[in-house]
Chains A and B, each alone.
Chain A
Amino acid sequence: MRVFKVILMWFLLLFGLFYLIYPRITHHPLTPIFHYGNLKDYPFLLIPFVYTASYLSRAWGVFIFAFLLGGVISSFFPKEKMRNALSGKKKTSYILAALFAPFLTVCSCAMIPVFGGILMAGAGIGPAVSFLLMAPASNILALVFTAQIISGKLALARFIGAFFGAVITGYILDKTPWGKKEAEKYGKLVAQRVEEGEERNFQEKSIDALQDALDLARKALPYLLLGVALVSYVEAYLPREVVARYLTGLKGVVLGAVIGVPMYTPTLVEVFLVKALINLGMSPGASLAFLIGAPMASIPSMLGVSRIISPKCVITYAILAILMGIISGLIYTMVFRTF
């Protein structure tokens, strides 16, 4: 039974990878895709089902791959070692914190303890905040979905924009007096370690990964499917003129970063929402601003974090994060000259 689970885990992961690569090489999808044509041709109540079914036919392998990859990351990556590398007040801590963020936590509910762990490692509030912003804006699941549902180019831009945004925001917050105060408060804490050296072997880790993937899917999928169903009405009924007027050009980039904040839910729905808005004519720059600004300044995570650090710090990083989203969107627009 255990061996079967190990084989199942690795087989499904490789199969998911095959599902992603196959269309890139052959230019045909692995399984048939259901095209819905014009959404408004369907009865009102059928729209969410048609829309969701279309995405499932297009991306079911991506779901398998992304959730299993999440499981593998959470059970195979040496999180303890990564965090210890962040100790000391060095400039490299910022870069490491942001680079490790996608591997340190896959699930948003584990974000705050890791944030605390970075503070305890003595890295100060700057790198801890860099981690806190990078983790939701650029976690592995979000990047895989962005690449597959929207485009690889935008996924790469999301990673780069989030990286610089997180590092710069963390660095600025570290220099503020209220940021320094928090670092002092938590800097004295000592991290607790599991006493016995319990190194899990390959088989155990594989089973943990499968279990993690299932937990992740069980947690995220209901919200994800519900979210996609609701997005169908946005794509069907939001007039193109409204999107063209508000979500293009310079105004679009600013609004893209701002509207995302109340609309963002940490369940990957943002990718599908942005895709729907792109289909209606939103500019790539505005999309990028949304995908970077919104997860960094999301209201649920801000509420959670304000239990740990002062609201003043939270508001500072949220404003900076939205600015970083806007700047990323503007740079993208300038580089690719697309309004």
Chain B
Amino acid sequence: MKIEVLGAGCPKCKKTEANVREAIQRLGISAEVAHVYDMKEIILRGVSQTPAVMVDGKLVVAGRVPEVEELMELLKKK
């Protein structure tokens, strides 16, 4: 599974990445986490609200910081 956090590096985006990592750790799954900082790349992917989370190329959260529990639910379904 590939999880990407999209955001230019503001505190909210960093918090999102930290929550994603914690969710993975608590679930005990293995997943690749990447952070896309580049605005151009973010726009080219069609995402217009940051912070955003993409799982395997699909947008799952946009425009807010997701909580760890919420992310765990989302990742369990995948």
Q: Given A79-B49, A110-B49, A218-B11, does the pair A194, B40 have CB atoms closer than 8 Å?
A: no
Contact of B50 among A110, A119, A194 (CB under 8 A): A110
Within 8 A of B (CB), among A223-249: none
A117 CB within 8 Å of chain B: yes
Q: Are B11 and A117 in touch, CB under 8 angstroms?
A: no
Contact of A113 among B12, B50, B59 (CB under 8 A): B50
What is the minimal beta-carbon distance from B10 to any residue of chain A, in angstroms?
4
Within 8 A of B (CB), among A62-115: 74-75, 79, 83, 107, 109-110, 112-114
Q: Which residues of B contact A194 (CB under 8 A)?
A: 59-62
B62 to chain A: closest residue by CB: A194
A33 CB within 8 Å of chain B: no
- Number of A-B residue pairs with CB-CB distance less than 8 Å in the complex they form: 77
A193 CB within 8 Å of chain B: yes
Q: Are A308 and B39 in touch, CB under 8 angstroms?
A: yes
The CA-CA distance from A112 to B44 in the complex, in Å, is: 12
Q: Are A189 and B46 in touch, CB under 8 angstroms?
A: yes
Q: Which residues of A contact B29 (CB under 8 A)?
A: none
The digit string for A176-194, where 1 denotes a CB below 8 A from any CB of B, is 0000000000100111111
Q: Are B11 and A219 in touch, CB under 8 angstroms?
A: yes
What is the minimal beta-carbon distance from B11 to any residue of chain A, in angstroms?
6
Q: Which residues of A contact B46 (CB under 8 A)?
A: 120, 189-192
Contact of B64 among A186, A208, A307 (CB under 8 A): A208
A196 to chain B: closest residue by CB: B60
Count, chain B residues at interface, CB 8 A:
27
B2 CB within 8 Å of chain A: no
B8 CB within 8 Å of chain A: yes
What is the minimal beta-carbon distance from B49 to any residue of chain A, in angstroms?
6
Q: Are B60 and A112 in touch, CB under 8 angstroms?
A: no
Interface size range on A against B:
20 to 34
The CA-CA distance from A247 to B54 in the complex, in Å, is: 50
Within 8 A of B (CB), among A22-75: 74-75
The digit string for B1-39, where 1 denotes a CB below 8 A from any CB of A, is 000000111111001000000000000000000000011
A195 CB within 8 Å of chain B: yes
B68 CB within 8 Å of chain A: no
Q: Which residues of B contact A307 (CB under 8 A)?
A: 38-40
The digit string for B41-56, where 1 denotes a CB below 8 A from any CB of A, is 0111111111000000
Q: Are B47 and A113 in touch, CB under 8 angstroms?
A: yes
Q: Are B43 and A186 in touch, CB under 8 angstroms?
A: yes
Q: Given A79-B63, A112-B39, A189-B43, does the pair A120, B48 have CB atoms closer than 8 Å?
A: yes
B65 CB within 8 Å of chain A: yes
The CA-CA distance from A255 to B10 in the complex, in Å, is: 33
What is the minimal beta-carbon distance from A332 to any residue of chain B, in angstroms?
34
Q: Are B39 and A113 in touch, CB under 8 angstroms?
A: yes
Q: Given A219-B11, A307-B39, does the pair A191, B58 have CB atoms closer than 8 Å?
A: no
Q: Which residues of A contact B65 (CB under 8 A)?
A: 211, 215
What is the minimal beta-carbon distance from B58 to any residue of chain A, in angstroms?
6
Q: Which of B8, B49, B50, B61 has the most CB of A within 10 A?
A: B49
Q: Are B59 and A195 in touch, CB under 8 angstroms?
A: yes
The CA-CA distance from A221 to B62 in the complex, in Å, is: 25
What is the minimal beta-carbon distance from A285 to any residue of chain B, in angstroms?
35
Q: Are A112 and B10 in touch, CB under 8 angstroms?
A: no
Q: Are B58 and A195 in touch, CB under 8 angstroms?
A: yes
Q: Which residues of B contact A215 (CB under 8 A)?
A: 11-12, 15, 65
Q: Which residues of B contact A (CB under 8 A)?
A: 7-12, 15, 38-40, 42-50, 58-65
Residue contacts A-B, CB under 8 angstroms, 19 given? A79-B63, A113-B48, A113-B50, A114-B48, A116-B43, A116-B48, A117-B43, A117-B49, A118-B48, A119-B43, A186-B43, A190-B46, A192-B45, A192-B59, A193-B59, A195-B58, A195-B59, A211-B65, A304-B39
